[in-house]
Amino acid sequence: METMYGDKDRKEFDSMPDMMERIEEAAREAGGIIRSAHGVDLQVENKEGRANFVTRYDRMVQDFLTKRLREILPEAKFLGEENGMDTFQPGDEDGWLFVIDPIDGTTNFIHNMHPFVTSIGLMKDGVPYAGVVYAPVTDQMFSAVRGQGAYENGQRIHSSKAPLSESIMLSGSAGFSMEAFAVAQELTRQVQERCHGVRSTGSAEYNLCMTASGRAGGYYEMRLGLWDFCAGGLILEEAGGRITDYYGRPLSWRGPSGIVALSEGIAREAAKGMPDTGSFYDRWKRLGQQQV
Ligand code: 2AM
Ligand code: CA
């Protein structure tokens, strides 16, 4: 059968259902470790910059995932938020690369306030190939394989076809830069008056999954690590949505980026130019330039 994949890829692709099951199982186990943290000393430390925290559990879960995923796909390389693995290395664009965030939404986790999730992206030759995002508090498992659609707890999901005027939007909430936050707030003010309201959850991967599953119309954030959007970005694309940088350009999938993630309906509007406001991206770009 003629496919978009070559013969070699096709072979790997056939073994994907089994591999995906094992990756999801690893994410579920990671969620178990995260849930077991309730009421224990998290040993919170502040990393570089403002409100950028890490706990004993972020490190422990990343170690667990690295070990478990290495058993599943021994030839894969790793990029992860913690333990000094956070930079895309020369050669990472060749072959398999796991991109993991053991806890996305660490500040929420510290405050015991859902959502916080485990995310596992799997890149192949420099582009996302599979993604798994697991929310342990609500037991939601989101997943996608490139070309095979997106799923929540085994059910196919689709992003919304609704226009901005009938959607909830999600704003970024990283506290690393008050200047970036001020720019994002200005965009939020403008988006707020054109939709049903803007919310902020504190977990980028969860926001992407909320957009992929049709609950939210989109999500924007000034700066994120690759581990914050790799898995959820693929899940959104497979659900019919669109993720770009805030100039509307395709993501490089190599490292940090600002992102604009949109449902199918709002992406269509944005492509045409928003009603009476001009292009979403032009607006974002003008605001972004104050900071970049
Ligand atoms: P984290 O919880 O894994 O740190 C909040 O809007 C999102 O921004 C979260 O996904 C959070 O991921 C991420 N975030 C927090 N601090 C950040 C930083 N200094 N740089 C990039 N992303 C950050
Ligand atoms: Ca994290």
Task: Look at residue 52 and tell me if it is in a domain.
Answer: yes
Instruction: List, as one string, the DSSP characters of the chain.
Output: ---SS-HHHHHHHHTHHHHHHHHHHHHHHHHHHHHTTTTS----EE-SSSS-EE-HHHHHHHHHHHHHHHHH-TT-EEEESSTT--SPPTTTTSSEEEEEEEEE-HHHHHTT-S--EEEEEEEETTEEEEEEEEETTTTEEEEEETTS-EEETTEEE------GGG-EEEE----S-HHHHHHHHHHHHHHHTTSSEEE--S-HHHHHHHHHTTSSSEEEEEEE-HHHHHHHHHHHHHTT-EEE-TTSPPP-SSS-EEEEEE-HHHHHHHHH-BTTTB-HHHHHHHHHHTT-
Residue 142 shares a structural domain with residue 168: no
Query: What domain range includes position 83?
Result: 7-157
pLDDT in tens, 31-77: 999 999 987 888 888 887 777 888 899 999 999 999 999 999 999 99
Query: Smallest Cα–Cα separation from 138: which of 40, 57, 209?
Result: 209
Q: Whose CA is nearest to atom 8 of ligand 1?
A: 174
pLDDT in tens, 110-163: 999 999 999 999 999 999 999 999 999 999 999 999 999 999 999 999 999 999
* The amino acid at 14: D
User: How many angstroms separate the alpha carbon of residue 68 from the centre of ligand 2?
Assistant: 18
Q: Whose CA is nearest to atom 6 of ligand 1?
A: 173
Query: Which atom belonging to ligand 1 lies closest to the Cα atom of 116?
Result: 2
Pocket test for ligand 1, best of 34, 82, 104, 211 (most atoms within 8 A of CB): 104
Q: How many domains does the chain have?
A: 2
User: How many angstroms separate the alpha carbon of residue 133 from the centre of ligand 1?
Assistant: 16
Task: Look at residue 246 and tell me if it is in a domain.
Answer: yes
Residue 209 shares a structural domain with residue 243: yes
* The amino acid at 227: W
Residue 150 shares a structural domain with residue 12: yes
How far are the Cα atoms of 32, 57, 131 from residue 137, in angstroms, in the given order? 9, 15, 19
Residue 126 shares a structural domain with residue 266: no
Query: Which atom belonging to ligand 1 lies closest to the Cα atom of 81?
Result: 3
pLDDT in tens, 69-121: 999 999 999 999 888 889 999 999 999 999 999 999 999 999 999 999 999 99
- Answer yes or no: is pLDDT of 255 > 60: yes
Q: Given CA atoms 11, 87, 117, 126 in this order, what sign does their dihedral have?
A: negative
Q: Whose CA is nearest to atom 19 of ligand 1?
A: 176
Residue 147 shares a structural domain with residue 192: no
Tell which of 157, 191, 211 closes a domain. Answer: 157
169: CATH: 3.40.190.80
* The amino acid at 195: C
Residue 276 shares a structural domain with residue 142: no
Residue 144 shares a structural domain with residue 279: no
Query: Which atom belonging to ligand 1 lies closest to the Cα atom of 204?
Result: 10
* The amino acid at 91: G
Phi, psi of 23 (to 5 degrees): -65, -45
Q: What is the pLDDT of residue 40?
A: 82
Residues by chain with Cβ below 5 Å of ion ligand 2: 81, 101, 103-104, 106
Q: What is the pLDDT of residue 281?
A: 63
Task: Look at residue 191 and tell me if it is in a domain.
Answer: yes
Tell which of 133, 157, 181 closes a domain. Answer: 157
Q: What is the pLDDT of residue 283?
A: 61
What's the pLDDT band for 279 if we cut at 50, 70, 90? very low
Q: What is the pLDDT of residue 10?
A: 45
Tell which of 157, 192, 227 closes a domain. Answer: 157
Task: Look at residue 2 and tell me if it is in a domain.
Answer: no
Considering 130-139, 168-177, 248-257, the range whose residues carry the highest mean pLDDT is 130-139
Is 35 in contact with 57 (CB distance < 8 Å)?
no
User: How many angstroms separate the alpha carbon of residue 272 from the centre of ligand 2?
Assistant: 35
What's the pLDDT band for 240 if we cut at 50, 70, 90? very high
Is 147 in contact with 251 (CB distance < 8 Å)?
no
Q: What is the pLDDT of residue 278?
A: 39
User: How many angstroms separate the alpha carbon of residue 39 from the centre of ligand 1?
Assistant: 23
- Ligand nearest the Cα of residue 62 is 2
Residue 134 shares a structural domain with residue 180: no
Residues with CB under 6 A from ligand 1: 49, 52, 81, 101, 104-107, 172-174, 176, 202-204, 221, 223-225, 228
Residue 173 shares a structural domain with residue 153: no
From edge to edge, which strands make up the β-sheet containing 218-224? Answer: 197-199, 168-171, 218-224, 257-262, 242-244
User: How many angstroms separate the alpha carbon of residue 1 from the centre of ligand 1?
Assistant: 43
User: How many angstroms separate the alpha carbon of residue 229 from the centre of ligand 2?
Assistant: 11
User: How many angstroms separate the alpha carbon of residue 204 from the centre of ligand 1?
Assistant: 7
Residue 144 shares a structural domain with residue 175: no
* Mean pLDDT estimate for the chain: 87
**pTM recorded for the entire structure:** 0.91
Task: Look at residue 1 and tell me if it is in a domain.
Answer: no
